[in-house]
Every structure is written in C-alpha cells, then in structure tokens.
Amino acid sequence: MFFSSWQDLFVVVISPSMNTMLLAALNQIKDTSLLLSEDYQDKKQFKKAIEMVLTPQKIIKGTLSIKDVNGKKKTFQAFRIQHNDARGPFKGGIRFHPNVCEDEVRALATLMSLKCAVAGIPYGGGKGGVVVDPGELTKDELKSLSIEYAKLITPHIGEWRDVPAPDVNTNGEIMSWMLEAYEKKVGYQSPGTFTGKPLELGGSLGRTEATGQGGVYVLEAYAKAKKLNIKASTVAVQGFGNVGLYFAKLASELGFSVVAVSDSSSGIYNPKGLDIKAIISYKEKGGAFKDYPLMKGTKLISNEELLELPVTVLVPAALENAITKENMEKISVQVVLEMANGPTTTEADTYLHEKGVDVIPDILSNSGGVTVSYFEWVQNLSGYYWSKERVNDELKVTITKAFTDIDKIKKEKNISYRRAANYISLKRIIDAMILRGRV
C-alpha cells in the first residue's frame, strides 16, 4: 500500500497562517514522506514518525531582561527550539535579529535536523533566537543579553543534550560569554556545550573557512560524478562574505575559473577569470565592489546580471530567495550550488529541475560549517586538538560521502538532488526513531 496524498497521511495541522519559512520546511517533509512511505511496511508507525518530525520536541521561550546604560530595564523575547534528537544531541545556532519569531526558529530547527542527517553527523536539530537589533545595543548590553539568554537555556543544554553555536549576528565572543555563564551555573568546565568558540577556548582550526571549503568539496565530488572538466568550468559567486569569499578562493585554487563575484554594492565580471587573490586583499581593506579598480577586460555588473551569466556553476552565497519566478527563465547554467540558506524558491527549483539544471541543495552544499562544528565538539570531548590538515581531510571524507550517498539515490529514483537529500535525511531520522522505540 502506498500513500498517494498528504491528506491520507497526516493529521498534524499545517496552517496557511504559519510563516513562509516554516510552511516551506514542513512542505519539504510532506513531499518527501510520500516518496519515503514505500520503504516502510508498518504504515501506522511511519505515519506517527512523520507526525513527530513535523513537530518540535521542546519549545523553550522566555523574556530576557537587562539594564541599559542608564539603568533602565529593557526586555527581549527569546526562544530555543529543540526539534528532534533521535540521531544525537540537538545542534543549531543562536540568531540575534529583530525579525526572529517562533515560527522562524522552528523552521530553522527543523532544517538543522535534516542538515545534520544529510551530512551524516550524529546530531539532531535545534535553533535559538532573540528578537533584538544588536546594532542598537552597547557592547555591555550585548554581553548582558547573551548571559541572560544562556541562563534561560542552561537547564536544557549540555554537550550530550543540546549544543548551540553562532548564527546571524552572533559570534565567537558571544559564545564565550554564554559558555562562561553556563559553566558558572553547572559548576564544571564544559567546552563542548557551545561550538564556534575562539581557538583559545577550544574552537577548531579550519572553522572560519569550513562552509566555503565544504562547498568546494561538494563541487569537486559533483565534477567527478559528472566528468566535468574543472579547468574549463566557469563559476559566478553571489555574496563575498564568510561563505562566498572562501568558496571563491578555494574553488579558484582548485582550478575553476571564477569569472564573477559580488557584494551588496555591485558585481565584478571578467569572462576570462578574475584575480581572486587581488579581490580578497581589496575586500580585506574594507573596499566595496562598486569602487573596485577595474583592469582591462573586467567590468562592473549588477547582482541581477550576475545570476543570469552563462557560467557552468552558479553559487548564490548571500541571501535567501535569490532565484525566483522573476529570474528563473534567465538562468542558463549547468549547476546551482546553494551556499546560502534557501536561495531558490520552490517554484524556481521545480522549473530548473525540469529544464535540466542540477540544483545542489543548501542542506548538503553548506553543511561544511556544521560538520566542522561537530569536529570542534569531538575535539572538546576528547581534550585533544587536531591540525588544520586533519580537519580538512576529515571534512573532505564526510562531505564526499554525503554527496555520494545522495547522488546514488538521485540516480536510483530519478529525482532531483534536493529530493534525494530530503529522502536520505528523513529516512535516517525516522530509522533512528524506530530503533529507539519512540514510534
């Protein structure tokens, strides 16, 4: 017996009033479950498992209160959502942003469960958030807020329970404040409770480059599977922050011709290939691309034009929703490697798949970051620290295996990379839940 429709399967309510990101995450699970139901004899058990994956295990929320510079009380809403820990401790970043809301944190926690399962690392998924514009806080206020947040989540986290990390507007310094607050409360050292820490407090070598490096390993594995000639392949990268910069650097070192890069001010294009080293040193001095000193053959282009270039590999590494129904027909590349989270809308994704463009999904392409966070935790638990070479070697092994597993399912089932990645991750989570007897 197969399930042919979503309604056959679930009673969990997916309400149109949910935020778009949460709807998209739950719809991905819905879509994948119809494909996956063929693999499970016990349909009742399968249905229960899917219902559990659609719902987070625990929602922690509270109001954080701090004193501002004038001694006045300021309050902030805060969340930690623990989605699923069947495969290992909850894992996921903490976001400080004015647009944070419960639905968004829930969506991101769900996607973390899928991402960790795709990468094959022994974690579940979680996410945290505080509704705040950190740009409006003094450094002392930011520190107080971080400490109050750590106090809120302390009873629910721990190296074998839930391991937070930085996300949008949080960083190693904030992790250090939170770690100190956590350790004070529990009364012992526990560096493995937070990742993304500075090296001095047990951070890992290679973490800064990890997401870009992981993306390059995915692309290398794809090139091998598709017998793509790396030296004859061109690449355009949208976004030149932590992810885009290291991706462009490492891809060009591997032999790809990076012909276009951009930041929020402008794009730079040279069909014969850009001097990425020179661009990085310009960027490190704080320059915006709109003012980049152009050499012969190089010109400025808009971010929209960058996405429409006839290159082999298009790499959105800036924002969500970069490829939409507005520009999808103008995309003429062999492969889109999603380094940003959610850069392709569902409609554009379906269109590109039907047109024969491979879209390698974010949960695989940018999983290098969480994979090196896992290596940081492993090093903290053992108290022994690896060289950067070892970090990169282990990253390559993990990422290449993740790609190979997905490529195999893609070919076997004749589906897109995205559906294959979702299939594998959901199957791994459900199998762990069944083994534990949770369903």
Question: Which residues are catalytic, by number?
Answer: 127
Residue type, 211: T
Contact pattern from residue 149 through residue 178 relative to ligand NAD, giving x for each residue in contact according to CB under 6 A and a dash for the rest: ------------------------------
- Assess 240 for contact with ligand NAD (CB under 6 A): yes
Q: Which positions from 298 through 317 interact with ligand NAD, judged by CB under 6 A?
A: 303, 317
Please list the helix, strand and coil fractions of the chain in percent, rounded to the nearest 5, in that order: 50, 15, 35
Closest by Cα among 338, 169, 327, 117 to 244 = 338
Least Å distance between CB 261 and ligand NAD? 9
Helix, strand or coil, per DSSP, at residue 8: helix
Binding footprint of ligand NAD, residue count (CB under 6 A): 20
Residue 290 or 413: which CB sits closer to ligand NAD? 290
- Assess 208 for contact with ligand NAD (CB under 6 A): no
Contacts of 374 (CB under 8 A, 6+ apart): 91, 119, 121, 122, 123, 195
Among 158, 241, 271, 273, binds ligand NAD (CB under 6 A): 241
* DSSP summary character for residue 337: E
Among 366, 371, 422, 425, binds ligand NAD (CB under 6 A): 366
Residue 12 or 319: which CB sits closer to ligand NAD? 319
Strand pairing class (162-166; 125-131): unpaired
The rounded distance, in Å, linking the Cα atoms of 428 and 161 is: 19
Among 211, 233, 371, 422, binds ligand NAD (CB under 6 A): 211
Least Å distance between CB 156 and ligand NAD? 24
| Cα-based torsion angle of the residue sequence 340, 345, 350, 353 in order, rounded to the nearest 10 degrees | -20
Least Å distance between CB 337 and ligand NAD? 12
Closest by Cα among 292, 294, 232, 234 to 258 = 234
Q: Which positions from 37 through 96 interact with ligand NAD, judged by CB under 6 A?
A: none
Least Å distance between CB 340 and ligand NAD? 3
- Assess 345 for contact with ligand NAD (CB under 6 A): no
Q: What are phi and psi of 387, to 5 degrees?
A: -75, 165
Length of the chain: 439
Residue 152 or 318: which CB sits closer to ligand NAD? 318
Beta bridge partners of 63: 77
Q: How many helices (H) and strands (E) does the chain have?
A: 15, 12
Nearest residue to ligand NAD, scored by beta-carbon proximity: 241
Among 341, 345, 371, 379, binds ligand NAD (CB under 6 A): 341
Closest by Cα among 369, 357, 364, 429 to 401 = 364
- Assess 429 for contact with ligand NAD (CB under 6 A): no
Closest by Cα among 94, 96, 105 to 132 = 96
CA distances from 290 to 168, 237, 273, 274, 287 (A): 25, 16, 18, 15, 9
- Assess 369 for contact with ligand NAD (CB under 6 A): yes
Contact segment (CB under 6 A) with ligand NAD among 139-147, 177-185, 236-244, 395-403 equals 236-244
- Assess 276 for contact with ligand NAD (CB under 6 A): no
Residue 10 or 240: which CB sits closer to ligand NAD? 240
Site residues, ligand NAD (CB under 6 A):
211, 238-244, 262-264, 303, 317-319, 339-341, 366, 369
